[in-house]
A and B are shown apart, each in its own frame.
Chain A
Amino acid sequence: MTDHGVADTVDDERPQGEAARPHRHADRPLTGGRIDTWRHPLTVRLTHWLNVFAMTILVMSGINILMAHPHLYWGIRSTFADPWMSFPMAPDWLMVPMRRDLGAARGWHFLFAWIFVLNGLVYLAFITISGRLQRMMEPTRADLADIPHSIVEHARLKFPKGEEARRYNVLQKLTYLLVLLVLLPMMLATGLAMSPMMNAALPELLWILGGRQSARTLHFLAASGLVGFVFVHVALVVVAGFTNNMRSMITGWFVIEPEKEDAE
């Protein structure tokens, strides 16, 4: 069974029309056995780049906010003499705005938090309704069995070619799922739990997270996890073919290299 996976986006659900005319998102053969395939629909591309922008502002204004009290604690209150973690002063260029200014940084942070949440909801609604979530990110049984092999391939910086390149590999799927279903919702939940008015509206959230100081520490840890993800994510985009990957996230089209020798 060939897995058309990525190519079968929702756009393919329109009526077939005259059988002879190829679908506008059908594969396009290129020279040398390479194939141009349709990979990322417009909604995914737009929400992805808006998210990159919003998260950049959120992280940089977040650092500015952290600098107002660069200590983290666990639990329901600060134990000033005994912080769990303390930070040195961050350089100005790492912050939004580019000088320590808690009031302004909070303004930026909350504006972009709204953009991040609304944009994230649009993206999550899209991938759920269109079936992209299941089709592209849900690991198959074969995927799970392939985890050790996939780890080795990543370590050797070898990326799939041919039919396999149409699909996200299992580590990629699991990472995206972790980011989309764990880290990003965690950012929102821990962020809301730090708001005193939200504590009144939804005290359960505060209890579940273990108190405001735990929520603040978890907010920082989840953000660090996301920053770590971005470094690995961008590094893999670069080593797996920077222009091809970027082209796919900008135009939607992705080039598949032919397999050198027939694998299976």
Chain B
Amino acid sequence: MIPERRGLILGAGAALALGGCDRVARTSGLQCSLKKAEQVSQRSQRALARDRLAPEYEEKDISSDFRANGSVDPQASDYLALKANGFRDYRLILDGLVENPLSLSMTEIRARPSRTQITKHDCVEGWSAIAKWKGARLSRILDEARVKPEARFVVFYCFDALDQTEDGDRYYESIDVPEARHEQTILAYEMNDQTLPIANGAPLRLRLERQLGYKMAKYIKRIELVESFDHIAGGKGGYWEDRGYSWYAGI
């Protein structure tokens, strides 16, 4: 029995598993290791979680001080115009790699199969807050749009620019199709039994309960099914991803 040697082999194996990503040669060794670790985290967490639900809470657990982060009052002119008459002219556009592109009013979205859930919102900064959300199940809307087999990601384009200028970078996010089809993934239009407030993303925001808050696009304008998000904005799959945050936000 030579556990010493076995230990070394194990250690070397671990080092190899984390190293060796020369395929992404354009990035530095460190960047490559960081990327690799993100992938290892994503794969192992997905393997463990499969399609399990995020924990759900009771009415009494709801936060009285739910914090609104990022944009809280978008000033883009197209948004202000829609807001002026209570989003009656709002249409959610869903297009890209689908056979049946959609354009849905809020009334139509409210008529779609919905889900209500009391969940914990985890901010990347470290805080959490609990709220009750009601929204249209994204999986059903994707079924309606008939997603083409080559579609891999669902991209959410938003009205808000964090710098509040007309031509500033608008917020956007992307998730993969399996995560979009998760039972708790909804396009929320109600928060704590009230119409979704402006500060929390009216008229429509994403709830993605097994990932961090920055994935949950607020003020959704358009949804696009794509094969890759390399060509969109900074190419990293989201506003914060383009600014150094990881695309996988389950951790």
Contact = CB atoms under 8 A, between A and B. Distances in A.
A246 interface: no
B125 interface: yes
A7 B54 CA distance: 51
B8 interface: yes
Contacts of B125: 68-69, 102
A195 B7 CA distance: 29
A10 B54 CA distance: 46
Contacts of B61: 76-77
B14 interface: yes
A102 B120 contact: no
Nearest to B55: A203
Nearest to A106: B246
Interface in A187-228: 194-203, 206, 212-213, 216
Contacts of B37: 107, 110-111, 114
B212 interface: yes
Contacts of B52: 200-201
A65 interface: yes
B38 A107 contact: yes
B243 interface: yes
A199 B130 contact: no
A142 interface: no
Given A77-B129, A212-B128, A200 B55 contact: yes
Nearest to A202: B48
Interface string B236-251: 0000100111100111
A81 B125 CA distance: 16
B127 A78 contact: yes
Contact of B57 (A42, A73, A76, A110): A76
Interface stretch (B39-47, B88-96, B108-116): B39-47
Given A102-B124, A197-B46, A43 B33 contact: no
Contacts of A125: 3, 7, 10
Interface in B1-20: 1-4, 6-8, 10-11, 14, 18
Instruction: Name the 7 nearest CB pairs between A and B, nearest first.
Output: A197-B250, A103-B244, A201-B49, A111-B37, A118-B14, A201-B48, A103-B245
Interface of B: 1-4, 6-8, 10-11, 14, 18, 33-34, 36-38, 40-41, 45-46, 48-50, 52-55, 57, 61, 63, 65, 67, 120, 122-130, 209-212, 240, 243-246, 249-251
20 contacts: A13-B1, A42-B4, A43-B8, A46-B11, A47-B7, A68-B124, A68-B125, A76-B57, A78-B128, A80-B127, A101-B244, A102-B124, A107-B37, A107-B38, A110-B38, A114-B41, A196-B120, A198-B49, A201-B49, A216-B126
